[in-house]
Amino acid sequence: MTDGNSSKYNLSVRIYLLIFALDTHFLNWKVMAKAIITYYGHSCFRIKAGGSSIVFDPYKNGSVPGLKLPKGIQADAVNCSHQHDDHNAAELIAVTGKKLNFTVSKLTVPHDHHNGQHRGLSDITFVELPDLILCHLGDLGRLPTAEEYTAISKADVVLMPCAGYYTIDSKEADEIIKHLKHPSLKVLMHFREGKRGYDVQEDIEDVMRDVKGVKRLDQSELTVESGNIPDEIVTLNPIQK
């Protein structure tokens, strides 16, 4: 082989190895799933992910002391965990009806400690994307069963009540947190703060005596990405405009 041919051969080998390395890299590379979570107070959130959006548990105006659902909230779908006025105001959301690019599934659980005899039933709802699962616990009224814990513990983000009377209380919320995966982001909801919320609920300061390490975020929205989930317990500041 002449020097010229040898050089061309070596160059061809290097180009081939480079292409092989790039192909291997992109085969192993995954697109990070991302979700944007916006809080409107009480148990109402909007989740945007995969080009789709869903609102959870919008409340009727006047149903939650100190809170009023903002006008003009738009989403592709709305999900109400149960049919109480502080969770079922689907008519206040501008729904596009577009097909969702994520999977929504549910578990139905008691709204109380008496197998639903006092307050009926409520849904735990899961939003699932590749490599990212979000879970809204609705008005869960008692500690989960082993089967329910198995499902909840797969979630990367858990939106959870914590203030008692109508739902699990702070001690029960703390117990549930101990069963969740690490890392996972826990967002507290359905609590009283100042003039917001019901008098019979625990105030967030009372909740924080049992649920340690809560971060009070002065923001209404946060973004989470698969592979970069903060292992934190947080509260958000609800949008009220």
Q: Please report the pLDDT score of residue 9 as a whole number.
A: 46
Q: What is the pLDDT of residues 201-211, one digit of tens each?
A: 999 999 999 99
- The predicted model scores a pTM of 0.87
Q: Please report the pLDDT score of residue 164 as a whole number.
A: 97
**Cα(161)–Cα(65) distance, integer angstroms:** 17
**Cα(215)–Cα(124) distance, integer angstroms:** 24
**Cα(90)–Cα(94) distance, integer angstroms:** 9
Query: What domains are there in the chain, each with its CATH number?
Result: 31-235 (3.60.15.10)
The whole-chain average pLDDT of the chain stands at 90
Residue 2's pLDDT band (boundaries 50, 70, 90)?
low
The DSSP symbol for 203 reads B
Q: Please report the pLDDT score of residue 22 as a whole number.
A: 39
| Per-residue pLDDT at 1 exceeds 60 | no
Q: What is the pLDDT of residues 99-118, one digit of tens each?
A: 999 999 999 999 989 988 88
